[in-house]
Amino acid sequence: MMFPLVPQSSRAYAQAMQLSARVNRLKPSSTLAVNALAKEMRQRGIDVIGFGAGEPDFTTPAHIREAAKHALDEGLTHYSPIPGEPAARAAAARKFARDNHLDHFTAENVIISAGGKHSFYLLTHALFDPECGLEMILPTPAWVSYRPIAEMAGATVVEVRTSVESDFKMTPAQLRAALTPRTRMLLINSPSNPCGTMYSPAELKALAAVITEHNAAGGKVVVAGDDIYEKIVYADTAFATIGQFLDPKWSVTLNGMSKAYAMTGWRIGYAAGPVELIKAMSKLQGQMITCIAAFCFPAMVEALDKGEPDVAEMREHYRQRAALMHEYVSRWTGVRCPRPTGAFYLFPDISAWFGHTSAGGTPLRSSLDVATALINEAHVAVVPGDEFGGCGPNHIRLSFACSTEKIEMGMTRIGEFVRTLG
């Protein structure tokens, strides 16, 4: 039996129900689809190794969990202020000053939402209108959710294609060429999902200079820096956020608790920017979810104020895993993959395998074929690169948010798959 990687949706049901065109156009996230399939196969007794996950395999540190338990026992079970409890907003502002040289933020500049994904949703809906003709510049390959969320808000997504040769980084010249009078937003995600690389402070400064020049000439470009992988870095240069180099009026910083503190299931994201923009996002949040769960705020404060030792410990694991996985990938002939410098992904160019047939008889013509053959034949779940945009269709995404034993086992299986290609 062959398991399909693309979920089969019921078109007939959608037509009968007359679901909205907006929702019908929306594709389910391919990363979530891979993980759901891996789970289903495991339930059927198949030993699938998962390199698909976009989440830490660690449990949230105990002192952070305790803070939430304590909050529940103290009766923090009611609605909170829409943009979040003042203490948690203040903790985020402190964090931005301490870690990111963004010392102009106060609690008022911060909104706390149900995850980084939700923060991005609020931001795009605060900046774009349906069919507004305004553009969002997105360097690709990029996280699968940016495009659909921005498009739902009414943005036209303008891709700037990057490649393995530039470690998947956009140059100032590329950015300059992509800017138009209609550009409303630039998204920078560093370290990057899916690329596993990050911009140096000097590179970010050069990109920021292009925006500053454009806005000085009448442009109205808001730069969103998605720093969700900020703590998972092992580059030679330090982490920087693009907001450091911008006029605060044109900058929004997105971050969240999911990746740094192994808190994906808590659904806590936060964003900081100009007060008027944060108020607009808050108005929308008030009509969407009201606020996040009240007992999460003390846990967020605990993590932001006292979580650095946990972060450092997890980072060390990621550093070792990154080196190990990259070593395996470098043995595959014809496959190119930059050395990972941040996040927990590798994004190898596997197009050298196209035109071959797997030992199980699957012709490999695309990244989806490769991912489908890998999960069915080698029992290793990887994410096909197609939906990340740009050169993504020549790549697969491998996540090393799993133990070194699993990495060794899974990479050995993929090695065997490659060795037996016909």
Q: How far is the CB of 197 from ligand PLP (least distance, A)?
A: 13
Please state whether 259 falls in left (phi above 0), alpha (psi between -120 and 50) or beta.
Answer: alpha
Does 264 help bind ligand PLP (rule: CB under 6 A)? yes
Does 258 help bind ligand PLP (rule: CB under 6 A)? yes
By CB under 6 A, the residues from 284 to 313 that bind ligand PLP are: none
Tell me if 392 sits within 8 A of 141, measured CB to CB: yes
DSSP 222: E
Tell me if 138 sits within 8 A of 131, measured CB to CB: no
239 closest CA partner among 250, 249, 253:
253
Distance CA 251, CA 183 (A): 14
Does 29 help bind ligand PLP (rule: CB under 6 A)? no
Pick 117 or 379: Cβ nearer ligand PLP? 117
Q: Is the dihedral of CA 151, 116, 170, 31 positive or negative?
A: negative
Does 385 help bind ligand PLP (rule: CB under 6 A)? no
Q: How far is the CB of 145 from ligand PLP (least distance, A)?
A: 7
Pick 193 or 341: Cβ nearer ligand PLP? 193
Helices (H), 155-287: 172-178, 201-216, 275-286
Pick 116 or 298: Cβ nearer ligand PLP? 116
Does 141 help bind ligand PLP (rule: CB under 6 A)? no
Does 228 help bind ligand PLP (rule: CB under 6 A)? yes
Pick 32 or 97: Cβ nearer ligand PLP? 32
Q: How far is the CB of 228 from ligand PLP (least distance, A)?
A: 4
Distance CA 332, CA 313 (A): 30
Query: What DSSP line would sit under 279-328, residue for residue?
Result: HHHHHHHHTTTSS--TTHHHHHHHHHHH-HHHHHHHHHHHHHHHHHHHHH
Kindly indicate which of the ranges 63-71, 111-119, 150-158, 375-383 contains the residues binding ligand PLP, using the contact rule CB under 6 A.
111-119
DSSP 263: -
DSSP 233: B
Burial of 418 (0-12, 13-18, 19+ CB in 10 A): buried
Tell me if 354 sits within 8 A of 371, measured CB to CB: no
By CB under 6 A, the residues from 267 to 286 that bind ligand PLP are: 269
Kindly indicate which of the ranges 11-19, 115-123, 129-137, 240-248 contains the residues binding ligand PLP, using the contact rule CB under 6 A.
115-123
Tell me if 128 sits within 8 A of 153, measured CB to CB: yes
Distance CA 175, CA 242 (A): 14
Backbone angles phi, psi at 79, to 5 degrees: -60, 150
Residues that bind ligand PLP (rule: CB under 6 A) add up to a total of: 13
Does 117 help bind ligand PLP (rule: CB under 6 A)? yes
Pick 115 or 348: Cβ nearer ligand PLP? 115
Does 143 help bind ligand PLP (rule: CB under 6 A)? yes
Q: How far is the CB of 255 from ligand PLP (least distance, A)?
A: 8
Q: How far is the CB of 189 from ligand PLP (least distance, A)?
A: 5
Q: How far is the CB of 226 from ligand PLP (least distance, A)?
A: 5
Tell me if 111 sits within 8 A of 283, measured CB to CB: no
Does 115 help bind ligand PLP (rule: CB under 6 A)? yes
Kindly indicate which of the ranges 114-122, 128-136, 170-178, 392-400 contains the residues binding ligand PLP, using the contact rule CB under 6 A.
114-122
Kindly indicate which of the ranges 109-117, 304-312, 314-322, 325-333 contains the residues binding ligand PLP, using the contact rule CB under 6 A.
109-117
Pick 84 or 115: Cβ nearer ligand PLP? 115
Residue nearest to ligand PLP (CB): 115
Residues in contact with ligand PLP by CB under 6 A are 54, 115-117, 143, 189, 193, 226, 228, 256, 258, 264, 269
